[in-house]
Structures are given as C-alpha cells and as structure tokens.
Amino acid sequence: MAHKSQQSKDQVRFQLIDQPFKMGRDLYILKGDAVAMPLTMKVQDPTFVIDQPTMHIPYQEDGALQSLMDVLWEQGFRPRSGTSFEYESIKSHLEDMRTIVGKILKLDWPKGGK
C-alpha cells in the first residue's frame, strides 16, 4: 500500500489496511522504527478536564496529516460535503438542466446559462 508522498522515515505516517475477514480496517501509526501501540479509551468523571491530546503533531510534520488523508482516500473515504468535486458536480448538473430547459422552451441561452 505505497503512496506517492515524499516523507522522511522520521515523520509520522499512517497505514490503513483493509481486513475484510475481521470486518474492518487496521490503522497503523508509524514514526521511524517506532509503531504506536493500541489506544485505550477510559471513561472519565464528567468534571474531568482534558489537558493532554491523544497525539501532538508539530506544524513541520503536517505531512503526517496528509499521509492520513492519503490512506483514507485510497480506501475510498471522501469528505461528506463542501468539496470542490461536489461543487463541480452540482455546477455540471445545473448546466445540463439549463440545456434541457433551453431546448424544451426553445431558448437560445449563452454558454453558462446567463
């Protein structure tokens, strides 16, 4: 499962491996020769103040977040809304609808529907 990002071995990187026989996916977090160990969830008192993140990623290692996005994309995950792809799809659909309506009503609209 190689992807094309130019990351150094010492940067945080992610691997997501589909495991259909386990009915899920395995996520690995790697940095150099180190591998993150499984996280544990702990029920806290409602007054508990969260003062430590699960993981801190320095700005200079933003490639780690890109790596996570890349592996999720490779597995078919997409943003739910607001993507440029979604906008382009809607724009294309509206252009098609303008063309159809223009033909039915015999309108001669300029390209772009204006």
Residue 111's pLDDT is what? 64
pLDDT tier for residue 56 given thresholds of 50, 70 and 90: confident
Identity of the amino acid at 2: A
Spell out the residues 6+ positions from residue 90 whose beta carbon is closer than 8 angstroms to its own.
Answer: none
| Extents of the domains making up the chain | 1-77, 80-114
Neighbours of 71 (CB within 10 A): 21
Residue predicted with more confidence, 84 or 95? 95
Is 64:12 a contact under the CB 8 Å cutoff? yes
Alpha helices in the chain (DSSP H): 62-74, 84-104
Query: Is it the case that residue 112 has pLDDT exceeding 60?
Result: no
pTM of the predicted structure, to 2 decimals: 0.56
